[in-house]
Structure 1
Amino acid sequence: MELNKDCMYCMEDENRDALMIEIGKLDVSTVFLFKEQTYTGRCNVVYKDHVKELFDLDSEELAAYMNDVKKVAEAMDKAFQPNKINYGAYGDKMHHLHMHVVPKYEDKADWGSTFEMNPGNTYLSEEENKKIIEKIKEYL
């Protein structure tokens, strides 16, 4: 794998660690819990290599990556019973393939609308984050 020295995912740097907590490695990606938890259980599934687009993956790699995303979404559904799970693969400023997996709840923030990238409203204690991570891991 070729690393991009300007990428927080490749470099596993403090910018990444300021935003999220590693939950664990999957088949071809790493799953992270966002520290900002307006959407309870929100995660990021980051592909193992520095590629920019889904079409940069061959069919096998794409299937494996989407299977990782599916595993995370299914774990969230079992752990938190959201009304819907939203998915976002933006990367305008961060050209490393990653997908936001965002549980949405009818009685909570932004129901019926697009989730906010960084709402900045809900930060949990280290212990609360640990409980969410354990709940997700239980179903991964």
Structure 2
Amino acid sequence: MNDTAANENIDAELLEVVKGLAELTWDLKGLNTVAIDLRTIVSYTDYVVICTGTSERHVQALARRLDTAMRESGRPPLGTEGVEHGRWALLDYGDIIVHIFNGEARADYNLERMWLEAPRVEFENQPKDLYGHFEMEQFGG
């Protein structure tokens, strides 16, 4: 296998992990899940996954469950921040960074606006109510 084919396999595997994280947020009733492909935009990560929890406890539960799933698949985090506070949890896996916000923090930080030019990951089974009670344009959509 040449280097190009190997890189394509790695990219495809990583994209499947990103999609799996998004699907898990939906299963756990996370709102507004967005995955952004940053491979050509920044050097510190390949993808960012952003979702909203409905309360502090929900943010904490989402963060813990996503982290457990990643650890169980052999991908421990490089670092985590904010899980105990429930306003904004950050899970850093190097090539994937996950941000889980409560509604107020998501609106305040509006990370999607930073990467408007970056492609969004398309999901085949995306819930119809993806944007919950938020307006799409609030998050750069």
* Category of TM-score, reference length = shorter chain: 0.3 to 0.5
TM-score, normalization by structure 1: 0.33
TM-score, normalization by structure 2: 0.33
Name which structure has the greater RCO, CA cutoff 8 Å, separation 6+.
Answer: 1
More helix by share: 2
